[in-house]
Structure 1
Amino acid sequence: MSQHPSQRIIVEKFTSELDGTVVVPGSKSITNRALMMALCGTGASTIRNPLDSDDTRAGLAAAQALGCQIDTISDGVVVHGIGRDRPVTGSSLNVQSAGTVARFLPCVLAMGGAGEWTIVASKQMTLRPMKGLFDALDMLGDCIRPLERPGYLPAVVRGAAITKNEAFVDGSVSSQYLSGLLIAAPQAEHPLVFRTDGHVVQRQYVDITLDCMRSFGAEVEATSDLSSIRVQPTGYAATDFQIEADASTASYFAALPAALKGSLVIPNAVRNSRQPDVRFLELVGQLGCDVTWLGSKGVRISRPTALSKLKGGFTFNLNDCSDIALTVAALAPYADAPIEIQGVAHIRNHECDRVDAMTHALSALGIQVEERADGWKIFPGSPRYAEVQTRDDHRMAMSLSVLGAAGDGVSLDHPQCVAKTCPEFYRLISQLGLAVRDTSSD
């Protein structure tokens, strides 16, 4: 993301009590899944309440570059599917920093009609591993060729090159590898079988993929442990699809009343969501907050006035919901005893090494933290004001905003990295009463 290197924002110390409502943008994960399925479908699909962010724009741009017509409507987009056809070939497709698009698009291209494309990405995305996906594609045919380093983008993808019907998928690094293969499989010319060792990190995202596929008319059978999944070559049907609130993004807003005291309502939160990060609401309850579901009107998170400090002394394994690890880490200093976060070694391979990044940020803010291979032990403390590095990572910026507002304030570099998943983040927290100041013109 291009930003002026000196650009910073300050989230100032919050001295009031929170009392507000915020409508959280749609799910990034579900938006990009629905977009890829609509692209591979026949007829016009309507996607309602899609997230509008850097990541989802990268998916839309890739679809349009392949010849897919996309119309904007008041509550979403209409995608005119191209099925297996590839009206535009020989082009370069830029997935920017969008991990989902980077993992889904090579599969969609490989399993569709004939053509050849070069997939390029931001510097950040070219550092993220793709080996597990490329290895699985190699088992299916001669369809992927990295251009610089084995197992990383950029790469050339060939369509109509699938000659085998079965592949093993390594699910230990990212569930997106398996999801990408599954999303693309209904457009193949014959049934495909994908096998794993039964251990898939953040497997709930694969469950979300399977739900979305079935909503678009796919026929797919999966064992309960995802060790074997069979997909029929049905293609996808045109669908009217509603995107629910993004549970990962919701965690930053749900953390605000926990950190700042007060109450917040998220009217579009979904209690029975498949998104694993909805677990954050359960964790906030364990920390001592009141979490009240309001039926079809969402959820209210409140911190009891008598709760002077959050409850600590917990060990949380967040392997299946690791996108909330930074949010939990941001609340940990405000607990009455240390909090340990385990099971998130794989977030070292996300937009940045998130374990290392949060260790440095907490230390800069004066918080004692012990870094582990797969997480942290974070001790109670009073965060001081500091200039900290987001490392151009949206989740670092949003979680540190919560942490800083509850402390003595915080200065963040690369503030617009939040556009990856929540471009309106600073506006939304400002509407809730937090003071956010852009220092680039100071």
Structure 2
Amino acid sequence: MNVYIKKSKLRNHQKVQITGSKSESNRLLLLQALYPQLQIQNLSNSDDSVLMQKAVSTKDKLVDIHHAGTAMRFLTAFFSIQKNREVILTGSSRMKERPIEILVDALNSLGADIRYLENEGYPPLKIVGRDITKNKVTLEANVSSQYISALLLIASKLENGLELTLIGEITSMPYIQMTLSLLREIGIETNFINNVVSVKPCSSTVSSQILTVESDWSSASYFYSIIALSAVGTEIIISSYKNESLQGDSALVSIYKNFGVKTTFLDNSICLQKVETNDKNSLKQFDLRDAPDIAQTIAVTSFGLGKECQLTGLHTLKIKETDRLVALKNELEKLGAQVTITNDSLHLKASDNIKQEVSISTYNDHRMAMAFAPLGLLVPIEIKNAEVVSKSYPDFWKDLKRIGFDYDTIS
């Protein structure tokens, strides 16, 4: 399905309810599988979380998680400690190109039994669950935070807990802090001193409790972009968000001030309002090492506003659903942008003209589809394979229509 967006005008004072954070949901689903007494409210309805929920409860030997990268990393750790159980963990053709050797090596060094079934270092995996008694492991600190979180999430179920030493500069720190905060919330003791993270074994039973997932800040990013590209005075309310968030993408609040978006925290939601900005500096520079998932949104916003931008800290984007840096360059240049990329950065030159009627390829990447959609406020644009948004935000197109976007679907 393709979506053809006609040049649209946003209805003012709209409200949008966004479901729970995919990042929080997937962590809590794994913890719930380890501690069934936990209850979860406001779970994400994303494909990734649906797949995660199914995978942790299935008794099947073959577990296919399709495009769900977080699930692949978390489940590799989860199944490694399911004693007397053998699992084949696989995914889509793209998933089989996404490296997992760093995590597998770490788990095997602790005593896990994980083997590659096709290409060395990549899924699919054969995992035989067993007791793990070793408790010390070292990782490079700039690897995907999902490898680190996968280890931390199972750590309390290891006989001697876990002491994880991180070498070098840490990438995506907020996601590691999110994992540790959720562990502490359910009563598990953790420490993070210098570059050493430790999780104590859970000596007593985790108490029965209800955990509420905050709405997804990554999904909120598209509404920040929409407001940034709208007229001064336009506002929208999205929920459910809190000022003290565990999610790294809450950096949107400060980043989008640069694009004239004011964020006001209400009781259980946020009001986004386009305001005048006195910022005369055309070049926008952002280090996104702690929030790489919003890079696509920021790049498209900058382009839509005719602002030059320099985004750094993006080395993890090359191993996502697609190589997001290459994908961004390809599609922005179709629209008339000048883009330069390296292994960890993107530089976009300012442009006053946006080409109309361009068809945007999405590369099986939900964030490509959603990041480019706000440009429909400026020019007619087509988004190919638009259904890919279901990976993280199944109601995205419905919500856009409700707030004023005018589009046709093309089968």
Per the normalisation by structure 1, the TM-score is 0.87
- Provide the secondary structure at the position in 2 that maps to 1:196: strand
SS for the counterpart of 1:189 is coil
The counterpart of 2:223, out of the listed 245, 253, 259, is: 253
Query: Aligned pair 1:265/2:237, yes or no?
Result: yes
Q: What's the offset of the Cα at 1:250?
A: 0.7
How many residues are matched? 406
- Output the amino acid matched with 1:436: Y
Give 1:153's match in structure 2, choosing from 101, 105, 123: 123
For 1:191, the equivalent position in structure 2 comes to 161
**CA–CA distance in structure 1, aligned partners of residues 206 and 178 of structure 2:** 16
Measured after TM superposition, the shift of residue 173 of structure 1 is 2.7
Counterpart pick for 1:169 among 120, 136, 139: 139
Once residues 281 and 13 of structure 2 are traced to their aligned partners in structure 1, the CA distance between those partners, rounded to angstroms, is: 21
The reply on whether 1:231 has 2:210 as its aligned counterpart is: no
Structure 2: any 5+ residue segments left out of the alignment?
Answer: none
Q: 1:39 aligns with which of 33, 42, 63?
A: 33
Between stretches 15-24 and 264-273, larger displacement belongs to 15-24
> Is the counterpart of residue 9 in structure 1 residue 27 in structure 2?
no
Return the alpha-carbon distance in structure 2 between the equivalents of residues 346 and 167 of structure 1: 22
Q: Please give the root-mean-square deviation of Cα atoms over the aligned residues, in Å.
A: 2.0
Q: Deviations over 1:9-63 (max 9, x none)?
A: 112212456431211221001001111101001x432110000111011111112
> What does residue 14 of structure 2 align with?
20
Among 369, 389, 393, which residue is 1:418 paired with?
Answer: 389
CA contact (8 A) 1:18 1:260 kept: no
1:213 deviates by 1.1
Contact between 1:10 and 1:411, CA under 8 Å: does it hold in 2? yes
Is 1:65–2:58 an aligned residue pair?
A: yes
1:407 aligns with 2:400: no
Conserved 8 A contact 1:44-1:239: yes
Aligned position for 2:113: 143
State the partner residue of 1:73. none
1:427 Cα deviation after fit: 0.2
1:198-347 correspondence to structure 2 within 5 Å? 198-223=168-193, 225-234=194-203, 236-261=206-231, 262-294=234-266, 296-304=267-275, 312-335=282-305, 337-347=307-317
- 1:287 Cα shift? 2.0
- Quote the residue 1:182 is aligned against: 152
Give the CA deviation at 1:332. Answer: 0.7
Letter in 1 for 2:362: T
Moved more, 280-289 or 389-398: 280-289
Conserved in 2, the CA contact under 8 Å of 1:37 and 1:236?
A: no
Cα deviations by residue, 1:259-288 (Å, 9 ceiling, x for unpaired): 123211123222210211011121111222
Q: Distance in 1 between matches of 2:163 and 2:337?
A: 49
One-letter amino acid of the counterpart of residue 21, structure 1: K
Corresponding residue number in structure 2 for 1:54:
47
Q: CA deviation at 1:103?
A: 0.7
Displacement of 1:222: 2.1
Q: Which runs of 5+ in 1 are unaligned?
A: 1-6, 67-87
CA drift at 1:341: 0.9
Does the Cα contact within 8 Å between 2:225 and 2:301 map onto a contact in 1? yes
Percent sequence identity is 27
Contact kept, 8 Å, 2:186 with 2:207, in 1: the verdict is yes
- Aligned equivalents of 2:222, 2:272: Cα separation in 1: 12
Match of 2:359 in 1: 387
Letter in 2 for 1:201: T
